[in-house]
Amino acid sequence: MTTVDKFPIPGVRQPGEAGDAAPGSVLAALRQTAARKRAAKSLTMPLHGRWEGQLRVVYGVLGLEDMERAVALSESGTSDLDGSLELMARAIRAIEAYDPETEGWSAIEDELGPVSFDDRLLRLLGAERPDDEYVFSTRQAYEWMFDVKYDGIGPLIEHQGRVNEFMGLGEQLGESSTGERLTGSGSPQASA
């Protein structure tokens, strides 16, 4: 172990760290190419049920830190559906709505910008909440959007599996180590 390893200097990058490529170097060019490819890769999935033909979700790829967390969840054999859905929500580039007048799709936004599967989306869509201060979790937003209360969790798990496959995560996150499907979280009742 060197003195630099023992006592790193704040603000100074160590050899091998992610920003150590000299500008204009081959390594810097490769990193830029990889970043462009990650940005260009996307999966657009229509939502079904009450949103058929009206809404779709555009997923991108996760950043390195989130991908490592997703792989750890997948390999742990635990059934952390909440964590998996949080990661999926972070990969969302846009939730798009179909406009019959223009016959085009546009991102759903509020005053803060594009929304994800979160409380902001449910506020825009008028989800019933226990009181004005109530904030829906990501899992509750996914469950409301997929009508888990009426249709069961199967369509959400299928959606999740396709997104995980797109991201290269293999087996579905949110499935228990015994292969049993998880059940709903008992989220607050919300009307359509």
Q: What is the pTM of this model?
A: 0.67
In a domain, residue 18? The reply is no
In a domain, residue 181? The reply is no
Res 93 pLDDT > 90: yes
In a domain, residue 35? The reply is no
**pLDDT tens, residue by residue, 144-182:** 999 998 888 899 989 988 988 888 775 444 443 334 344
In a domain, residue 25? The reply is no
**pLDDT tens, residue by residue, 10-52:** 554 444 445 567 787 777 776 776 666 666 689 999 998 889 8
C-alpha span between 143 and 152 (Å, rounded): 9
Structurally, how many domains does the chain consist of?
A: 1
In a domain, residue 68? The reply is yes
In a domain, residue 175? The reply is no
In a domain, residue 2? The reply is no
**pLDDT tens, residue by residue, 57-88:** 999 987 777 777 776 766 665 557 788 888 88
Q: What is the pLDDT of residue 41?
A: 85
In a domain, residue 89? The reply is yes
Specify the DSSP class assigned to residue 179. Answer: S
Share of the chain above pLDDT 70, in %: 66
List the beta bridge partners of residue 59.
43, 92
Q: Which domain holds residue 161?
A: 41-166
Are 108 and 96 in contact by the 8 Å Cβ rule? The answer is yes
The backbone torsions φ and ψ at residue 76, rounded to the nearest 5 degrees and listed phi first, read -70, -20
